């Protein structure tokens, strides 16, 4: 078992709980290893960079967009199976929320990536349609 902490406060990163001991990794300790993590073929290796890039670019929309797009491109380059790409994208998408106008641009880029690779089956576009329909459904319920 491994415990990941997003905080720098040492009191909030216990190494044992109820008699169990486990290693602790603070994601803030990996800032210097960003390039190494991004180069890794390990699927989990994409999560710390997503967190680090989110924290580094959060206040600058364009930089945040570019960081998210770079992670999306990595997802397609790794040749992982469809479900792994969807699962990792879901985490990246959750961490790296963009303004609507940049979110629209990300989906245009995803479409262009999939078309350039001449993919027989779209990986992420169905997810976008599902999320969009879900949002419309939720919005219509709220407005009632």
The average pLDDT across 133-138 equals: 42
Q: What percent of the chain has pLDDT over 90?
A: 27
Say yes or no to pLDDT of 134 above 50: no
pLDDT surpassing 80 at residue 120: no
pLDDT of residue 118: 78
Residue 62 has pLDDT above 70, yes or no: yes
Q: What is the greatest pairwise CA distance in the chain?
A: 53
Class of residue 95 by CB neighbours under 10 A (exposed 0-12, middle 13-18, buried 19+): middle
User: Token pair for residue 83?
Assistant: 């479900």
CA 6 to CA 12: how far, in whole Å?
10
What average pLDDT does the chain have?
77
pLDDT level of residue 63 (50, 70, 90 thresholds): very high
Ordered by start, the domain boundaries in the chain are: 3-143
Task: Provide the pairing of β-strand 20-21 with 16-17.
Answer: antiparallel
pLDDT tens digit sequence for 78-90: 888 888 988 899 8
| Residue 135 confidence (pLDDT) | 47
Between 49 and 135, the higher pLDDT residue: 49
Burial tier of 4 (Cβ tally within 10 Å: 0-12, 13-18, 19+) = middle
Residue 123 confidence (pLDDT): 72
**Per-residue pLDDT at 11:** 55
Task: Report, as an integer, the average pLDDT of 113-136.
Answer: 64
**Residue with structure tokens 């349609």?**
129
Q: How far is CA 87 from CA 15, 32, 90, 116, in A?
A: 28, 26, 5, 22
């Amino acid at each position: 078992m491994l415990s990941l902490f997003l905080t720098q406060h040492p009191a909030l990163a216990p190494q044992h709980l109820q008699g169990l001991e486990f290693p602790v990794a603070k994601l803030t300790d990996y800032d210097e290893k960003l390039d190494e993590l991004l180069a890794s073929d390990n699927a989990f290796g994409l999560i710390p960079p997503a967190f680090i890039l989110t924290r580094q670019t959060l206040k600058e929309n364009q930089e945040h967009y570019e960081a998210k797009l770079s992670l999306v491109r990595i997802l397609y380059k790794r040749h992982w199976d469809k479900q792994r790409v969807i699962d990792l994208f879901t985490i990246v998408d959750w961490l790296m929320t963009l303004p609507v106008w940049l979110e629209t641009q990300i989906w245009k880029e995803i479409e262009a990536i999939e078309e350039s690779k001449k993919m027989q089956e779209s990986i992420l576009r169905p997810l976008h349609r599902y999320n969009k329909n879900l949002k419309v459904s939720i919005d219509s319920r709220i407005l009632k």
